Amino acid sequence: MSAVPNAIPNAPRDTSRRVNAQAEAEILFRVVNRVAIVTLNRPAALNALSHAMVRELAVLLEHCRNDGGIVALVLKGAGDKGFCAGGDVREVDRLAAAGDPRWLAFFVDEYRLDYALHTFPKPVVALLDGIAMGGGMGLGQAARLRIVTERSRIAMPETRIGFVPDVGASHFLSVMPAELALYVGMTGATLSGADALRLQLADLCVPADWLASFDERLQRMPHDGEPLAALRAVFEPPCNIVPHAPLESLTPLIMRHFDRRSGVERIVATLRQDLEREPRREARQWLQATCDALTSLSPTMLHVTREALLRGRQMTLAECFRMELGIVKRAIDEGDFREGVRAQLIDKDRQPRWSPATLAEVRPERVRHFLASPWTDGAHPLAGLGAGQR
């Protein structure tokens, strides 16, 4: 799929041929008042990323970087259900099962794209309306202005399929206290837009209806002044009331149980202890749900995820991507990923057979193995990422 024809702002739009092409394209591109608007256009798949979409986004990003007439970039999803539900996990699994190395190329290209967005010299706005999970978070958290709504459902649910929170999660989750990052990353908890704002995963929480009319306001955006400030004025309502964040009342529980000094087994033990003596209904529901999650997800990847998130807090963005790619390769080549995809997405029996089956069986050397790079430094596919930057 070529990005160049779509990158021509004045291309004709009044023929049925053009309309059909736009309807079928997985990436739509237009320019409004010097701002490029890039739309992920797979609404039936909640705008999940295919490898072709990742490659086209990379080409469009370079076009926007080099076009002096473009001052900023807006990322959005087609439809009203999601910004982006993640990467095409089924296709990755299919390629891995066939021994096709292109599955690794998908992650390499995706991480390079995410890194390019994080370091893009022009302001990037992400409209995280609806579902924004996994690979969608990789795109959205790279933006300098992250906008959520009352419909937003934010999550890094990778542990549910025997995987690790990736696409830079070991970096972008570090903006919050370690205990909250461990909770979000290990359990795959779904956050509301208000929760995301409170946890510093969003910059504005606005009504979804306000986003629906941003084109008109963008047309009137002044050309003078700093583009990011002007864009914020476009997307921020005149009276912005921050809604209630459901997770706020549970924060003391999270901070206590997900202590950074506690291993996964210790976390589960303290959850069970509190469950026996906690009288409050809301707290008991959270304790039970969290305990159930940590005892049903891949034991290996829970241990690995905890360690990766803690390590990532001391790493540069490029180092985080390199670490995550190594874990991903281990998880797909020799870990629980394919079994997790089978149980959750293919057979849907929700009965994964993890190996090993329990938290207690995961040896420390196994965790260290997953965190050790499969490549020497110079041979790492992302070796050149961030060269000369900190």
Could you tell me the domains of the chain? 5-379 (3.90.226.10)
pLDDT at position 279 is 82
Q: DSSP states of 36-103 as a string? A: EEEEE--GGGTTPBPHHHHHHHHHHHHHHHH-TT--EEEEEESSSSEEE--B-HHHHHHHHHTT-THH
Which residue bears the tokens 């473009």?
70
pLDDT at position 224 is 87
55-64, 161-170, 240-249, 367-376: the lowest-pLDDT one: 240-249
Kind and range of the H or E element at 128?
strand 124-128
pLDDT at position 388 is 55
Residue 79 burial (CB count, 10 A): 16
Kind and range of the H or E element at 27?
strand 27-32
State the chain's mean pLDDT as an integer. Answer: 92
User: How far is 306 from 66, CA to CA, in rounded Å?
Assistant: 39
Angle of the 317-334 helix axis to the 299-312 helix axis, nearest 10 = 170
Question: Which phi and psi (to 5°) does residue 260 adopt?
Answer: -60, -20
Are 75 and 125 contacting, i.e. CB atoms less than 8 angstroms apart? yes
Of the CA atoms within 13 Å of residue 57, those in its CB half-sphere come to 30
**What is the pTM assigned to this prediction?**
0.92
3-state secondary structure of 127: strand
Mean pLDDT over residues 371-378, rounded?
94
Query: Which of 298, 311, 349 lies closest to 159, judged by CA?
Result: 298
> Per residue in 218-246, pLDDT tens?
999 998 889 999 999 999 998 766 678 89
pLDDT at position 244 is 83
Alpha helices in the chain (DSSP H): 16-24, 51-66, 89-97, 102-118, 135-140, 169-172, 178-187, 193-198, 208-212, 214-219, 227-235, 251-257, 264-277, 281-294, 299-312, 317-334, 337-341, 364-371
pLDDT at position 387 is 76
Are 83 and 128 contacting, i.e. CB atoms less than 8 angstroms apart? yes
pLDDT at position 23 is 53
pLDDT at 19 over 90: no
pLDDT at position 242 is 67
> Per residue in 265-289, pLDDT tens?
999 999 999 998 878 888 999 999 9
Q: How confident is residue 168, by pLDDT bands cut at 50, 70 and 90?
A: very high
User: How far is 122 from 181, CA to CA, in rounded Å?
Assistant: 28
Mean pLDDT over residues 335-345, rounded?
96
Of the CA atoms within 13 Å of residue 361, those in its CB half-sphere come to 9
- Write out the two tokens for 75: 């990322």
Mean pLDDT over residues 97-119, rounded?
97
pLDDT at 317 over 60: yes
